[in-house]
Amino acid sequence: MVESTPRAWRAADEYLADVLVGDDPALEAALAAQREAGMPEIEVAPVAGKLLNLLVRISGARRVLEIGTLGGYSTIWMARAVGDGGRVVTIEAEAGNAAIARESIDAAGVGDRVDIRIGRGADVLPTLVGGFDLVFIDADKESNTVYLDWAARLGHPGTVIVVDNVGRDGEIVDENTKDTKVIGTRDGLRMLGEDPRFDATALQTVGIKGWDGMAIALVV
């Protein structure tokens, strides 16, 4: 039996990405541009990017909202999935990140489907027109409850919500944590459990990003 270590998780994740995702020059170029610009390497894993792409297609989502563009990696995955006439609105707090993302998204051939809004989520979200079919929340974890509230308001019954980073190396069980990211994540999860607007679950993940997880919710 292979010992369950971060190294083994990474190897298995790379194997799955090799078999199921394969080479993707546009996405690899987006990651290279992101690294070159000095952004943190916190984009979703390839298998998770493809999961987002499949969730958009499985749900038939045509209008997608992303909170946290970073270098546009997950944006490209989802923009490919909305099809011709589909739309991704993505919010990025850092103008420099947004500029790099814009170039990568355009180079990937999906620029006409992607609208990047620069600003903090809490400022940009109230300016958006609703009707989103899928919302991906992957920004500052401290604001997860604010983002979930807006996801419900800008969505509709049937809207799919995905929240990244709900495992945080298992630290989510620590009710006394001082880590504001963990506190924000826990608050978001509690909201998903208690707020009658949502029906939700979460799955832990291990892989190239260590031990983490994603929550998936439906707006009911």
Residue ranges in contact with ligand DHB by CB under 6 A: 42, 138, 164-165, 181
57 contacts which partner out of Mg ion, ligand DHB, none, CB within 5 to 8 A by kind?
Answer: none
Applying CB under 5 A, which part among 15-23, 75-83, 114-122, 156-164 lies near Mg ion?
A: 156-164
144 contacts which partner out of ligand DHB, Mg ion, none, CB within 5 to 8 A by kind?
Answer: none
185 contacts which partner out of ligand DHB, Mg ion, none, CB within 5 to 8 A by kind?
Answer: none
Quick count: other Cβ atoms within 10 Å of Cβ 176?
4
At a CB cut-off of 8 Å and minimum separation 6, what does 59 contact? Answer: 133, 134, 158, 160
What's 4's DSSP letter?
-
At a CB cut-off of 8 Å and minimum separation 6, what does 20 contact? Answer: 47, 50
With CB under 5 A as the contact rule, the residue among 97, 165, 185, 205 that binds Mg ion is 165
Least distance (Å) between residue 79 CB and ligand DHB: 19
CB 135 within 8 A of CB 74: no
At a CB cut-off of 8 Å and minimum separation 6, what does 10 contact? Answer: 207, 208
Q: What is the rounded CA–CA span in Å between residue 215 and residue 201?
A: 6
Least distance (Å) between residue 165 CB and ligand DHB: 5
**What is the footprint of Mg ion within residues 120-149 (CB under 5 A)?**
138
Range 18-45 burial, b when 16+ CB lie within 10 A, else e: eeebeebeebeebbebbeebebeeebbb
Least distance (Å) between residue 165 CB and Mg ion: 5
CB 77 within 8 A of CB 90: no
Least distance (Å) between residue 164 CB and ligand DHB: 5
Asked if residue 164 binds Mg ion (CB under 5 A), the reply is yes
Least distance (Å) between residue 181 CB and ligand DHB: 6
CB 182 within 8 A of CB 172: yes
Applying CB under 5 A, which part among 8-16, 86-94, 163-171, 187-195 lies near Mg ion?
A: 163-171
Least distance (Å) between residue 62 CB and ligand DHB: 25
DSSP for 142-173?
GGHHHHHHHHHHHS-TT-EEEEE---GGGGGG
Asked if residue 212 binds Mg ion (CB under 5 A), the reply is no
Q: 100 or 215: whose CB is closer to Mg ion? A: 215
Applying CB under 5 A, which part among 81-89, 104-112, 127-135, 159-167 lies near Mg ion?
A: 159-167
Chain residues that interact with Mg ion, rule: CB under 5 A: 138, 164-165
